Amino acid sequence: MGSAVKLRTDFSAGELRRLARNSKDVRQSSRLLSIAAVLDGMSRADAARIWGVAPPK
């Protein structure tokens, strides 16, 4: 298993949600919401699964 990608800290979870709301790209919005959830303490796997950005099995 690979190592986790380090999250950037220059945007807060709230800022990422605002960016997601204003984005016209649905996939970009999903990714931003997933990252916001992780910043709020959700596991990466759960966040990816909930927002539909988990890799296929």
How far apart CA 30 and CA 2 sit, in angstroms, is 23
pLDDT reported for residue 57:
61
How far apart CA 22 and CA 3 sit, in angstroms, is 31
Average pLDDT for runs of 10 along the chain of length 57: 77 96 94 92 88 69
Counting Cβ atoms within 10 Å, is residue 34 exposed (0-12), middle (13-18) or buried (19+)?
buried
pLDDT reported for residue 52:
79
Give every CB contact of residue 33 below 8 A, 6+ residues apart in sequence.
16, 17, 20, 51
pLDDT reported for residue 7:
84
pLDDT reported for residue 17:
97
pLDDT reported for residue 42:
93
